[in-house]
Amino acid sequence: MKEKILNTINNNDEIVKTKKEELKYGLECICSFLEKFVILLILSLLFKTTKVFMLIMLFFTPLRIFGFGYHAKNNFQCWLISLFLYSLIPILINIIKISTIVINIGAIFASIIILIFAPASSVKKPLKNKSKNKKRKSVLFFTCLIYWVIIIFINNSNLKECILMALTFEALLVSPLLCKPPISNRTLLNNKSKV
């Protein structure tokens, strides 16, 4: 089906070449996401972690969409990261219970890292539009605020642990440990630190 759509895009003379490339890229992203989602959902059904899988996806997705950060170098690495986040972590959440104090401290620490470093530009996804980045930062602030309200007022340890894992994972992806900004952004950052 994907090939049929790609052929239709290629054969349509009304679509400009640059738009064709954007449409192809978008289609590849959608197909890749659906492929991963179906396989990860099947794994979650096998491991009986579907609820936790869906919660982590629900809480992590807005952070990832607006926070950006590290991108895998290839599809295989992306698969490994996805398997870790959406298969192994739900299994661990079902086995290990995290105390409320650890959840609170971890969520504070992860939120601070996200709010300092996100949206994080990367080599694969350079972010150059300052006004869009301010809007992204605002969305991230309110997302973290909503997560904090849930952590404080909802008495559900699974929910709190899923939020903590989503915050922690995004904090890692936007931190300078994993996310190296493009050379042009590093030059800007170095020049700002000298001023």
- Write down the domain spans for the chain: 1-47, 49-189
What integer pLDDT is reported at residue 70 of this predicted model?
A: 87
| Ramachandran sector of residue 164 (left: φ over 0; alpha: ψ -120 to 50; beta: rest) | alpha
193: pLDDT confidence band, cut at 50, 70 and 90? Answer: very low
Greater pLDDT, 60 or 9: 60
Residue found by looking up tokens 């239709």 in the block: 8
Report whether 56 contacts 165 (CB < 8 A).
Answer: yes
Q: How far is CA 117 from CA 22, 52, 114, 179, 183, in A?
A: 28, 27, 5, 10, 16
Instruction: Give the tokens for residue 158.
Output: 């699974």
pTM of the model: 0.81
| Ramachandran sector of residue 180 (left: φ over 0; alpha: ψ -120 to 50; beta: rest) | beta
pLDDT digits (tens, 9 = 90+) for 26-55: 778 788 889 999 999 999 999 999 999 999
* CA pair distance 6, 131, nearest whole angstrom: 34
Select from 48, 55, 45 the least CA-distant residue to 156: 55
Mean pLDDT of the 72-87 span: 87
Select from 43, 65, 68, 64 the least CA-distant residue to 54: 43
Select from 141, 110, 127 the least CA-distant residue to 71: 127
Instruction: Give the tokens for residue 19.
Output: 């738009």
Report whether 68 contacts 119 (CB < 8 A).
Answer: yes
pLDDT digits (tens, 9 = 90+) for 125-140: 778 888 999 999 999 9
* CA pair distance 85, 89, nearest whole angstrom: 5
Is residue 127 helix, strand or coil? coil
* CA pair distance 118, 138, nearest whole angstrom: 10
What integer pLDDT is reported at residue 185 of this predicted model?
A: 46
Burial of 99 (0-12, 13-18, 19+ CB in 10 A): exposed
What integer pLDDT is reported at residue 2 of this predicted model?
A: 62
Residue 120's beta-bridge partner residues? Answer: 68
Mean pLDDT of the 50-77 span: 91
